[in-house]
Structure 1
Amino acid sequence: MLNRPAGRADGRASAHYSLTHRCPDEHVIALAGNPNTGKSTVFNALTGLRQHTGNWPGKTVDLAFGRADLGGKQAVVVDLPGAYSLLACSEDESIARDFLCEQGPDAVIVVVEAGCLERNLNLVLQILELTTRVVVCVNLIDEANRRGIQVDGEALERELGVPVALTAASTGYGLEELRRILADLVDGRLKPEPSPITYPTDIEDASRELESRLPTLPPAVSRRYVALRLLDTDPLTRQRIVEAIYRRAKSISDKVVSQATSSIQTSKTTMKPGIDDVLTSRWLGLPIMLALLGGVFWITLVGANYPSALLARALFHMESWLSAAFRAAHAPDWLHGAVVLGAYRTMAWVVSVMLPPMAIFFPLFTLLEDLGYLARVSFNMDWCFRQCGAHGKQSLTMAMGFGCNAAGAMACRIIDSPRERLVAILTNNFAPCNGRFPTLIALASLIAAGSLPASLLVVTMVLLGVTATLGMSWALSRTVLRGVPSSFILELPPYRMPQVAQVLLRSLYDRTLLVLRRAVIVAAPAGVVVWVLANMTTPGGSNVLATIARTLQPAAALMGLDGFILTAFILGLPANEIVLPILVMAYSSSTALVETAGFAVLGRILAANGWTWLTALNTMIFSVLHFPCSTTLLTIAAETKSLRWTALAALMPTAVAIVVCCATHAVARLLGLV
């Protein structure tokens, strides 16, 4: 039975947090659940943070911390990686299990999907064997109701013996009730009494015998849980334990879930398989994927030109005010050059060239993600990865890489096999990230006349990255990382109508402004460095930047590039976003960026420095295939714990980029195209 007192609690926004900074009087609340149940959305609602959410499994691969106020009491909320079971051995599920066992949270919120309650109860029942301080959050209740599925929260509470909150976290429904329950639970006013699972008699007897013989355990660890884990090392016993859990989950689900059977509801629930028959078709799946991707880039190119030019005029108009202020303050020329001509102009280029396409591309990409389409893309790509000796989950980590390669490398934790995980980490950089898309879009607009051909060219570059990922996965799986690919099951999430306002705000804050902020922070010091190099002279009379470019020129010429392009990529190691601004600064005859920006002006600058369509094409190819940025390299080092693999992650894509660029340049010259 469960006694539930009245009370109230309010969530409050907080900064990123860590248990190492936990105050003595703060409670710790763990957030667990199956992948794709809206767990991260619940986390964001409780803490006010903006952890990335999306309609596909595997996004949370590490612990995320936030702080919430529960009726005047401070609480640390820890978002655990999604897990289907505590009995599994994948790294992300091990992280969730180890935290629950070792940290002993004051409460555990288990988020379950209302429309798939029977399957989700498997994890709930396992966690109840570990701790009694559990709140079950039945999320996506609105979606279930639309499908004719009704969940009796009070009946579920009686069956489990723990409090239950019915929520729709994306709209805020039920979250106040969840906060109130949490406040009562952590303060001790609510004392759950969960009903234990009854296993076969021989397992129960063996469990009690083991419990009596176990040494002293930490307070957070249940003796029954440890005894059962010792018993399930035997495959047959493990199977019987799992079957007992599933029988109990089905029994509870049958009692608390009711399904409408009207023809209207039936048509709604059967619509998804019909759509998936098309979107995941062997013959239509990939063409539809390419068409959607091309459409996204076409809209981006059409919409970005005018705002980019308008923003450039405004930003560079402000430069005259800054210069006037420096003159009025009688600042030395070197200070004016470094700050205004170096740092400010570089930032102005970054903002004017990157912001408009990002502000269009990321909301469109997020709409596809929230709709549930990214999981279908991964499904379509699974066969390709398996043929290359890689794990099918690598398609998910590659999709993460399109946002950020560092995040993609971390997402490889969802792959169980160490060999396949390493293959995924080493090849993730071939997926063009946020920082490279603005460069690709800008250069594509210079090569192809018209938005449609330019968008097709960007799609071609994305396909080049995917092809490189598959090719190098195949090569690694047959050389230094030999092995047979393991199978996996991918859960296709239901299609969900995106909330456009939330998508716009989240993509603007989480992606557009975040990437832009990172680019600006890196661009300012990079602009100063480039300005200094362009104004320092060598004994021969030329500046240092030109000397570096001249040294790299012979190698660059073989690749269809020039020394300044390679110099820009090297100096752009901190962030891919700043490669193009550095290149324009390096080209400027006045050792500073020109006083305007935009795609049209960019084309004139590059053409004046000897660029042809082949130069732009090879620069795009090198941008897609070259070495990772410093953030990604540091992440790879942390994930692999090996300098050797990190070095390979830098050298391998660079070698591929050099070979492909040299081949492209040689073929074009052989055919007389330049």
Structure 2
Amino acid sequence: MMLQRYLIALAGNPNTGKSTVFNKLTGLKQHTGNWPGKTVVLAQGSYTYQGHTYEIYDLPGTYSLSASSPEEEVARDFICSGQPQVTVVVVDATCLERNLHLVLQITQLTTSVIVCLNLMDEAKRQNMVLDVHQLEEELGVPVIPTTATTSEGLQALQDAIARVTHGALRPQPRSLQLDQEHLASSFYTHAERIADQVVANSQQGCDFSARLDKVVTSRHLSIPLMLGLLASILWITIVGANYPSDLLAHLFFQLEDLLTTLFIKLGSPAWLHGALIFGMFRGLAWVVSVMLPPMAIFFPLFTLLEDFGYLPRLAFNLDGLFQKAGAHGKQSLTMAMGFGCNAAGIIAARIIDSPRERLLAILTNNFVPCNGRFPMLIVMGTIMASSVVGAQMGGCVAALVVLVALVFSVLATLMISKLLTSTVLRGELSYFILELPPYRRPQIGTVLVRSFLDRALSVLWRAVIVAAPCGLLTWILANITFHDITLLGHLSNWLQPLGQAMGLDGVVLLGFILGLPANEIVIPIIFMGYLSQGSLMEVQGLAAIQDVLVANGWTWLTALNFMIFTIFHWPCGTTLLTIKKETGSLKWTLLSILLPTAFGITICVVLTKIVDILYVGCS
């Protein structure tokens, strides 16, 4: 017997918890965050309840059916199409009056409406009392109070959806007497009247957010606070990553010995052992032991700030700088998403209404380091700091070095944005309105699991998939000789003049080129190129990395130029495909490669030349 399927639309204002409701009902992992506009695509999922399958569509948030952005048009058109059997409108219980405007609009178009009164836990914390029965009477539709983060009320929501779809419950929305000449104000008038009748509110709960915002969004304190938070996260990441990194390195070292013993017992040829162990296995071991610990610490901390509600305040604080650069304030949100993944930041640019400003955000997103480049910066910053000030103070200095690199990446984003808006992307700057959501207590357990599984492990898995074949390819290039020089040597020698001018060398540039599929594999490729036997050294921690670098002529200037080029070079393969898909243009995709690469090469060459001049002048 085939299960009957019903189509359910999940609508609501931005930042009301729609994606959380969607995830809880479907068991999927649509990314959620405490800032408006997180959902920029129409997500689809399903669940089975009482023998029937319900297809749920999580629509992008919209304040009104009079849509002003492409994502809001998606929500409006889907609701108005008549396809959904039920439209569930997710409402923020702490901002009922504003949310009711959309509810009233939808109830005038369809009778099959259910109101999901979400965030009831926050309403209680703010000493708000809502008369749910009175709200049902005023609207004429079922109202289900929920707290989606804890799944409270979701069983009742599923039951209400089932009853409406099967006709056991028939909503009868109230017909409103609307002034057609002043339609929008009529909806707001009705929303205000209903909210006044059903909400008893004590303002004491809002005092905390107001007091904290005076500090977080202060003209004088906001930027120092932002830098302090970021420096703290980086310090915790750098100091905390050392121990698990050494532990993982030791475990992989032991495992390599076991695998080598197994190959010897099986009588495997030396070339097979070299390709699989010295090429593929050590490449994987380097990626996991060096890259996983920083990601496993940094991203949970970053996600805690996101869930707390800090990212919209970050956008508010940076809006003035982006305006001076001719960019939209929401570009700072897409930039923040880029710190997690540049491809995700580019998709998030859909929250910007203006096509010109959206393209600007896409072209400049790669100027901030993503999760694949963060571990490279942290590793190199730690090595550079330890060599200068020693291990005891190395963590603090390394955090400061990486912080300066990140600030420089933001300044570069603003500089390139100004250059583009003054040349190929001239146009009028659109207005910027952003809702500052309330501060919310992060669900620490959920955040830790979600950020580790969805961000750290997913990125690591992508790197592992790429690291194995790239490690094998690099081993082959390093073990096939032509005129007594390996193919890897020929390629690096060809790149040597440019690398030398940049204060690097040909091996480093070759590592970046071969690392196009994923930035996480750049460092392993570089080390394989440095070692004469064409295989990675055994994974023995950061001290061993430093020894190899120094033996190959690295100085503090080499490490600094490496960090600069790590930030400013071409996007990875996934990001390039995303840019091509979002812009639909090969021209803009090529420009997204040229801009950061030319900027990075220029900075490295100029810095190297200045240091050479100063060194000669002082000698």
Both proteins in one fold, TM over 0.5: yes
Query: Which of 509, 515, 520 is the aligned partner of 2:453?
Result: 509
Q: Establish whether residue 105 from structure 1 lines up as the match of residue 84 from structure 2.
A: yes
SS of residue matched to 2:89: strand
Matching of residues 580-599 of structure 1 within 5 Å: 580-599=523-542
State which of 122, 128, 141 in structure 2 corresponds to 1:143: 122
1:218-243, Cα deviation, whole Å (9 max, x unpaired): xxxxxxxxxxxxxxxxxxx4xx1111
Q: Specify the alignment match of 2:194 in structure 1.
A: 252
- The 8 Å contact of residues 138 and 166 in structure 1, kept in 2 or not, is answered as yes
1:425 aligns with 2:368: no
CA deviation after TM superposition for structure 1 residue 121, in Å? 1.1
1:472: Cα distance to partner?
0.7
Q: Give the residue type in structure 2 aligned to 1:241.
A: L
Counterpart code for 2:470: A
Q: d(CA) in 2 for partners of 1:383 and 1:653? A: 23
Candidates 598, 607, 613, aligned match of 1:670 = 613
Amino acid paired to 1:586 = G
Match of 2:390 in 1: none
Q: Indicate the larger mover: 379-388 or 153-162.
A: 153-162
Larger mean Cα displacement after TM superposition, 410-419 or 330-339: 330-339
Amino acid at match of 1:181: A
Q: What are the Cα deviations for residues 71-119 of structure 1, in whole angstroms up to 9, with x where unaligned?
A: 2211222211121122122122112223333471222221110000110
Which residue of the other structure, out of 381, 390, 403, is the alignment partner of 1:459? 403
Counterpart Cα distance in 2 of 1:182 and 1:333: 65
The secondary structure found in structure 2 opposite 1:270 is helix
Deviation per residue, 1:443-467 (Å, 9 max, x gap):
0001113111100111111111101
Listed as ranges, the gaps of 5+ residues in structure 2 are 387-393
Q: CA offset at residue 24 of structure 1?
A: 8.2
Contact 1:197/1:244 (8 A) holds in 2 = no
Specify the alignment match of 1:216 in structure 2.
none
After TM superposition, give the deviation of residue 484 of structure 1 in Å.
Answer: 2.3
Gaps of 5+ in 1: 1-22, 204-236
Match of 2:331 in 1: 394
1:560 corresponding residue in structure 2 = 503
Separation of aligned partners in 2, 1:150 and 1:108: 26
Instruction: Find out whether 1:86 has 2:65 as its counterpart.
Output: yes
Could you tell me whether the CA contact under 8 Å between 2:283 and 2:468 is conserved in 1?
A: yes
Give yes or no for contact 1:91–1:415 (8 Å, CA) kept in 2: no
- Moved runs in structure 1, 4+ residues, more than 6 A? none
Matches within 5 A, 1:310-459: 310-449=247-386, 450-459=394-403
SS at structure 1 position matched to 2:54: strand
- Preserved CA contact (<8 Å) 2:528 2:534: yes
Partner of 1:283: 220
Cα distance in 2 for partners of 1:100, 1:510 equals 30
The superposition leaves residues 210-265 of structure 1 with CA deviations (integer Å, 9 ceiling, x where unpaired) of xxxxxxxxxxxxxxxxxxxxxxxxxxx4xx111111111112111211113xxxx6
In structure 2, the partner of 1:659 is 602
Give the whole-Å Cα distance in 2 for the aligned partners of 1:629 and 1:103: 41
Give yes or no for contact 2:380–2:563 (8 Å, CA) kept in 1: yes
1:301 aligns with 238
Q: Secondary structure at the match of 2:484?
A: coil
> Deviation of residue 274 (structure 1)?
1.7
For residue 269 of structure 1, the aligned residue among 183, 197, 206 is 206
User: Counterpart of 1:531?
Assistant: 475
Q: What residue identity is the alignment partner of 2:589?
A: T
- What residue is the counterpart of 2:389 in the other structure? none
Give 1:330 shift.
Answer: 3.2
CA distance, structure 1, for counterparts of residue 600 and residue 290 of structure 2 = 24
Q: Which residue of 2 aligns with 1:545?
A: 488
- Alignment correspondent of 1:169: 148
Q: Specify the SS of the correspondent of 1:130.
A: coil
The match for 2:10 among 22, 31, 54 is: 31
- Cα distance 1:331–1:105, how it changes in 2: closer, same or farther (>3 A)? farther
Aligned residue identity for 1:157: E
SS in 2 for 1:671: helix
Q: In 1, are the aligned partners of 2:384 and 2:556 still within 8 Å (CA)?
A: yes
Q: What amino acid is the match of 1:525? A: P
1: distance between equivalents of 2:613 and 2:149? Answer: 57
Contact 2:67 2:76 in 1 (8 A): no
Q: For 1:51 and 1:597, locate their aligned partners in 2 and report how far apart those are by CA, in whole Å.
A: 38
Please, which of 63, 67, 74 is the counterpart of residue 42 of structure 2?
63
Instruction: Tell me which moved more, 94-103 or 562-571.
Output: 94-103
Cross-structure match for 1:114? 93
Is the alpha carbon distance of 1:126 and 1:329 closer, same or farther for their aligned partners in structure 2, counting shifts above 3 Å? Answer: farther
Superposition deviation, residue 337 in structure 1: 2.3
2:341 touches 2:371 (CA, 8 Å); kept in 1? yes
Q: Which residue is 1:11 aligned to?
A: none
Q: Alpha-carbon deviation of 1:633?
A: 0.7
Cα distance in 2 for partners of 1:31, 1:599 equals 49
Paired residue type of 1:515: V
Question: In the alignment, is the contact (CA less than 8 A) between 1:349 and 1:597 conserved in 2?
Answer: no
Name the residue aligned to 1:631: 574
Q: Which amino acid aligns with 2:185?
A: E
Amino acid paired to 1:244: S
Question: Percent identity among equivalent residues?
Answer: 56
CA gap 1:521/1:187 in 2 versus in 1, 3 angstroms: farther
- The code of the aligned residue for 1:326 comes to F
2:139–2:174 contact (8 Å) kept in structure 1: yes
Distance 1:592 1:101 in 2: 61
- More off after superposition, 175-184 vs 433-442: 175-184
Give distance in 2, aligned partners of 1:138 and 1:74: 23
Say which SS state the counterpart of residue 137 (structure 1) adopts.
strand
Aligned partner of 1:167: which letter?
Answer: T
Structure 2 contact 11–75 (Cα < 8 Å) conserved? yes
- Supply the AA of the counterpart residue of 1:247: T
Q: Which moved more, 1:96-105 or 1:112-121?
A: 96-105
Q: Partners in 2 of 1:388 and 1:68 — Cα distance? A: 46
1:520 aligns with 2:457: no
Counterparts of 2:246 and 2:465, CA distance in 1? 22
Deviates further, 112-121 or 272-281: 272-281
Q: Is residue 2:436 matched to residue 1:492?
A: yes
Match of residue 517 from structure 2 = 574
Q: CA deviation at 1:37?
A: 1.1
The aligned residue for residue 3 of structure 1 is none
Provide closer, same or farther for how the CA distance between residues 326 and 659 of structure 1 changes in structure 2, counting only shifts above 3 A: same
Contact 1:70/1:182 (<8 A) preserved: no
> 8 Å contact 2:9–2:88 — kept in the other structure?
yes
Counterpart for residue 479 of structure 1: 423
Tell which deviates more after alignment, 108-117 or 156-165. 156-165
| Counterparts of 1:26 and 1:290, CA distance in 2 | 51
Partner Cα distance (2:613, 2:55) in 1: 64
- Matched with 1:13 is none
Please state how far the C-alpha of 1:608 moved relative to its aligned partner.
Answer: 1.4
